[in-house]
Amino acid sequence: MTLTLPPQVEEAARRVQALLEEAKAQGLLLEYRLDDFSGEPFPGVGGLAFYPKGTSEEAVDALREAFRDIEDALEVGVAVILVPHDREA
């Protein structure tokens, strides 16, 4: 049985992945994993992203704000946990 997600969840997943790929290309993120797409009981996207220790708090806050913008635009939850990591980009 294939799970069909609401269109806004699929769109949120696409936007979050694009945002994370852009952040990774810019060296803000080391790696990430998106692994929780759900339609019930609360629609949303989840995952984990690692950024280099020493990254400016402003840069990390900008990424968090972009997640909130996606949430607001599509009325879904975005729960990507941002974790500092010792490894260099």
Answer CATH for 16-82 from 3.30.450, 2.30.30, 3.30.70, 1.20.140? 3.30.70
Give 42's pLDDT tier (boundaries 50, 70, 90): confident
Query: Domain ranges in the chain?
Result: 16-82
CB-neighbour burial class of residue 68 (10 A; exposed 0-12, middle 13-18, buried 19+): exposed
- Mean pLDDT across 31-50: 88
Between CA 14 and CA 57 the distance in angstroms is 25
Tell me the C-alpha distance between 58 and 39, whole Å: 32
Compute the distance between CA of residue 56 and CA of residue 78 in angstroms, rounded to an integer: 22
The pLDDT value given to residue 45: 94
- Per the listing, tokens 């635009």 go with 73
